[in-house]
Amino acid sequence: MAVFCGSKTGNDPLFIQHAQQLGYLLAEKGIDAIYGGSSKGLMGAVANAAMERNGKVIGIIPSFFTQWEHQHTTITELIVVDDMHTRKKLLYERCDAAIILPGGVGTLDEFFEMLTWNQLSIHNKKIFLLNTNGFYNFLLNHLKKMQEENFLHEKIDSRITILENPELLPDYLF
């Protein structure tokens, strides 16, 4: 499962708690965590938690980020690529589904590209949005507005499953 999230932890302690819960859950269910390769922020929290429970964690990071984001050196596999496009392509190719946790513009970029490719039938992978403490409420309202204004080809909830807690994820996977 691809995990898209911030390389920072954000202000709400629940963000990091949910990231850790997700890492534990993926490891316990035998689901590979495929993510951006950082040891910092929510990315690091997911990876560390999965590794604590003997999970498989694959990080994919562009070479120029190895100085900025502090690549994770104790995960199962770290793949260093040339650029962001290659990173995203590999993340999409290697996952069966994706979950989006709180993050910044990079997280949104990955989310919208995955959603766009899904809508265009480039892939049909499940997309989950972890709406920790309402983090994505404004974005979800905007997506609904796009739907109301007839800018979408289908209802937004036909492509995204919104979760308030990572513990709900297995209900949709098995």
By three-state DSSP, how is residue 56 classified?
A: coil
Helix, strand, coil in percent for the chain, rounding step 5: 50, 20, 35
Between CA 31 and CA 115, with CA 34 as vertex, the angle to 5 degrees is 100
The reply to whether the predicted model has a pTM over 0.85 is yes
pLDDT of residue 11: 97
CA–CA separation, 86 and 60 (whole Å)? 9
Residue 114 has pLDDT above 80, yes or no: yes
- In this prediction, residues 13-33 reach a mean pLDDT of 98
**Nearest alpha carbon to residue 164 among 137, 130, 139:** 130
Domain positions in the chain are 2-169
By three-state DSSP, how is residue 73 classified?
A: coil
Residue 174 has pLDDT above 90, yes or no: no
- In this prediction, residues 36-43 reach a mean pLDDT of 95
C-alpha dihedral sign at 171, 56, 6, 63: negative
Q: Which residue has the higher pLDDT, 70 or 135?
A: 135
CA–CA separation, 78 and 38 (whole Å)? 10
- pLDDT tens per residue, range 72-112: 999 999 999 999 999 999 999 999 999 999 999 999 999 99
Query: Which one of 3.80.30.20, 3.60.40.10, 3.40.50.450, 3.40.50.150 gives the CATH number of domain 2-169?
Result: 3.40.50.450
DSSP codes of every residue in 120-156: TTS---EEEEE-GGGTTHHHHHHHHHHHHTT-SSS-G
Grade residue 66 by pLDDT with cuts at 50, 70 and 90.
confident
CA–CA separation, 169 and 161 (whole Å)? 9
